[in-house]
């Protein structure tokens, strides 16, 4: 049985295995832990937010 997350809407995105391995390495790092990130998923969300904030601030 699947569960429905009523707080946030999530979707699945396919990324290359090599990139996922790099994210996994980061997710296990002291830097990620210091930010409170405890999973690959949290790390990906953090990385994307940082990238988009930086990109949007250049406009």
Prediction pTM value: 0.77
| pLDDT value, residue 6 | 61
Average pLDDT over residues 46-50: 96
Nearest Cα residue to 15 out of 51, 40, 46, 52: 40
Please state the rounded mean pLDDT for residues 29-41: 96
Q: What is the pLDDT of residue 1?
A: 45
d(CA 28, CA 43): 10
3-state secondary structure of 34: helix
For 4-32, what is the mean pLDDT? 90
In the chain, where the domains are located: 17-57
Q: What's the rounded Cα separation, in Å, for the pair 48 and 13?
A: 12
Bigger pLDDT: 7 or 32?
Answer: 32
């Amino acid at each position: 049985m699947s569960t429905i997350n009523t707080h946030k809407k999530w979707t699945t995105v396919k990324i290359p295995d090599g990139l996922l391995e790099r994210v996994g390495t980061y997710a296990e790092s002291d830097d990620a832990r210091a930010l409170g990130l405890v999973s690959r998923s949290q790390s990906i969300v953090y990385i994307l937010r940082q990238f988009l904030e930086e990109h949007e601030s250049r406009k």
